[in-house]
Amino acid sequence: MAKKEAKPNMVEQFAEFKELKNIDKTTMISVLEESFRNVLAKMFGTDENLDVILNPDKGDVQIFQNLTVVPDGEVANPNLEISLTDARADNDPDAEVGEEHTKEIIFEKFGRRAILTLRQTLQSKILDLQKEAIYEKFKELEGQLVAGEVYQTWSHETLLLDDDKNELLLPKSEAIPGDFFRKGETIRAVIANVDNKNNNPKIILSRTNENFLRRLFEIEVPEIQDGLINIRAVARIPGERAKIAVESYDERIDPVGACVGVKGSRIHGIVRELHNENIDVINYTANPSLFIQRALSPAKVSSIRLDEEEKKAEVFLRPEEVSLAIGKNGLNIKLASMLTGYVIDVYRDSEETTEEDIYLDEFKDEIEEWVIEALKAMGCVTAKAVLKTPRESLIEKADLEEETVDQVLEVLRAEFED
pLDDT in tens, 60-82: 778 898 999 999 999 999 889 99
Instruction: Catalogue the long-range contacts made by 304-310 (C-beta closer than 8 Å, 24 or more residues apart).
Output: 304/379, 305/379, 306/342, 306/379, 310/343
pLDDT at 413 over 60: yes
pLDDT at 232 over 50: yes
| Beta-sheet pairing, 278-283 with 241-248 | parallel
Q: Per-residue pLDDT averaged across 147-169, rounded?
A: 94
pLDDT at 14 over 80: no
Burial tier of 130 (Cβ tally within 10 Å: 0-12, 13-18, 19+): middle
- pLDDT-derived band at 353 (thresholds 50, 70, 90) equals very low
pLDDT at 3 over 70: no
Q: CB–CB of 218/260 below 8 Å?
A: no
pLDDT at 370 over 50: yes
State how far the Cα of 203 lies from the Cα of 150, in Å rounded to an integer. 15
- pLDDT score for 211: 94
pLDDT at 282 over 90: yes
pLDDT at 99 over 80: yes
CB-based contacts of 25, cutoff 8 Å, min separation 6: 18, 56
**Most confident of the ranges 120-129, 256-265, 313-322:** 256-265
pLDDT at 26 over 80: no
- pLDDT score for 15: 53
- 302 Cα distance to chain centroid: 40
- pLDDT-derived band at 11 (thresholds 50, 70, 90) equals low
* Main-chain phi, psi angles of 240, to 5 degrees: -115, -70
- pLDDT score for 6: 45
- pLDDT score for 354: 45
Q: In angstroms, what CA-CA distances link 148 with 20, 21, 164, 183, 356?
A: 21, 20, 10, 11, 59
Q: Per-residue pLDDT averaged across 403-415, rounded?
A: 88
- pLDDT-derived band at 380 (thresholds 50, 70, 90) equals confident
- pLDDT-derived band at 56 (thresholds 50, 70, 90) equals low
Helix (H, G, I), strand (E, B), or coil: what is residue 136? Answer: helix
State how far the Cα of 63 lies from the Cα of 80, in Å rounded to an integer. 15
- pLDDT score for 10: 53
- pLDDT-derived band at 91 (thresholds 50, 70, 90) equals confident
- pLDDT score for 59: 60
Q: In angstroms, what CA-CA distances link 139 with 147, 198, 210, 348?
A: 16, 16, 18, 49
Share of the chain above pLDDT 70, in %: 91
- pLDDT-derived band at 29 (thresholds 50, 70, 90) equals confident
- pLDDT score for 28: 74
Helix (H, G, I), strand (E, B), or coil: what is residue 237? Answer: strand
pLDDT in tens, 105-143: 887 777 788 778 888 887 888 888 888 889 999 999 999
* DSSP code, position 357: -
| Among 27-36, 170-179, 290-299, 303-312, the least confident range | 27-36
pLDDT at 147 over 90: yes
Beta bridge pairs of residue 204: 169, 193
Amino acid at 114: A
- pLDDT-derived band at 350 (thresholds 50, 70, 90) equals low
Q: CB–CB of 228/259 below 8 Å?
A: no
pLDDT at 21 over 60: no
Q: Which of 31, 46, 99, 49 is nearest to 71 (CA)?
A: 99
Residue-averaged pLDDT of the chain: 86
Peptide bond into 390 cis (omega under 30): no
Q: CB–CB of 129/31 below 8 Å?
A: yes
Q: CB–CB of 305/379 below 8 Å?
A: yes
Set out the domains of the chain in order of their start, with CATH numbers.
10-135 (3.30.1480), 143-208 (2.40.50.140), 210-278 (3.30.300.20), 357-417 (1.10.150.20)
Q: In angstroms, what CA-CA distances link 93 with 53, 82, 90, 368, 373?
A: 25, 14, 8, 107, 100
- pLDDT score for 12: 56
Q: CB–CB of 332/295 below 8 Å?
A: no
- pLDDT score for 39: 86
CB-based contacts of 228, cutoff 8 Å, min separation 6: 248, 249, 250, 253
- pLDDT-derived band at 58 (thresholds 50, 70, 90) equals low
